[in-house]
Structure 1
């Protein structure tokens, strides 16, 4: 097969030569995780994105919709729709910011906390499966590398 310069530019030269780019590899891991999470969460009627938003709120409640969207990797519009659905299900409660009446803070309900506690083991098992071939030192290094990558991309997003 002959590869044109345009094809190499479009797909990444490494990928066409048999070695996928890091971005491609990361996307494949993300898709595999999301697919597995969707299977785990299907009985709850939750998506992986909704679950992620709930876990963000568990770590840091009292976020605005915009803050939650940034921390959950979705758009503000998507988060608004997601919060409405989660609120209808009794999983989140929203309170008006007394200092800015146009802003609302979002909190988990006890129902959401019980749900997260119930599914933590299955989600942790998925994570364990993903890193099972890494020792403790490698896992910590991997976590650090991912954090540095996220920081680097977050820094450039503002420019």
Structure 2
């Protein structure tokens, strides 16, 4: 064991992530959504017509996971997928009116979680946290390329 448990930050980061996801799941459930579905609708609202591959990257999931999310949203009538006018093998994805209503209902509750985090920290602390998390991500990427 090359590093004592009390010096390892991975567990703290994972715990915070799991607490965030659990809270958001509770927040978006009344709108009939899961967190991945909510994230997908949120990104789609800002990027109408985005491809599934780009959507997967923006939502930090695999393309295979995004395919399942989009299929479920499509079946429920929350998104519509149409062939791209020039690239026939690419489907453009758009929110439907029902999708926008679900997103608004979910976001009204999910934003409370984000606001609680923001309220806990000063503006400077939020900026510092973002910087520290970015540095952690860069360190993880560097370390993983050396394995």
Structure 2 length normalisation: TM-score? 0.83
**How many pairs are equivalent?**
146
Structure 1: gaps spanning 5 or more residues: 1-7
With over 3 angstroms needed to count, the CA separation of the structure-2 counterparts of 1:98 and 1:151, relative to structure 1, is farther
Task: Give 1:122's match in structure 2, choosing from 89, 109, 121.
Answer: 109
How far apart, in 2, do the equivalents of 1:156 and 1:110 lie? Answer: 45
With over 3 angstroms needed to count, the CA separation of the structure-2 counterparts of 1:154 and 1:41, relative to structure 1, is same
How much does 1:145 deviate? 4.0
How much does 1:83 deviate? 0.4
Residues 10-48 of structure 1 deviation map (CA, whole Å, 9 limit, x = unaligned): xxx242xx23x3332221111111111111222233111
* Corresponding residue for residue 43 of structure 1: 30
Structure 1 length normalisation: TM-score? 0.77
How far apart, in 2, do the equivalents of 1:45 and 1:108 lie? Answer: 15
How far apart, in 1, do the equivalents of 2:110 and 2:116 lie? Answer: 10
How much does 1:157 deviate? 8.6
Q: Pairwise mapping of residues 3-152 of structure 1 onto structure 2 (< 5 A)?
A: 8-9=1-2, 13-15=3-5, 18-19=6-7, 21-147=8-134
| Higher relative contact order, chain-length normalized (CA < 8 Å, sep 6+) | 2
How far apart, in 1, do the equivalents of 2:13 and 2:43 lie? Answer: 21
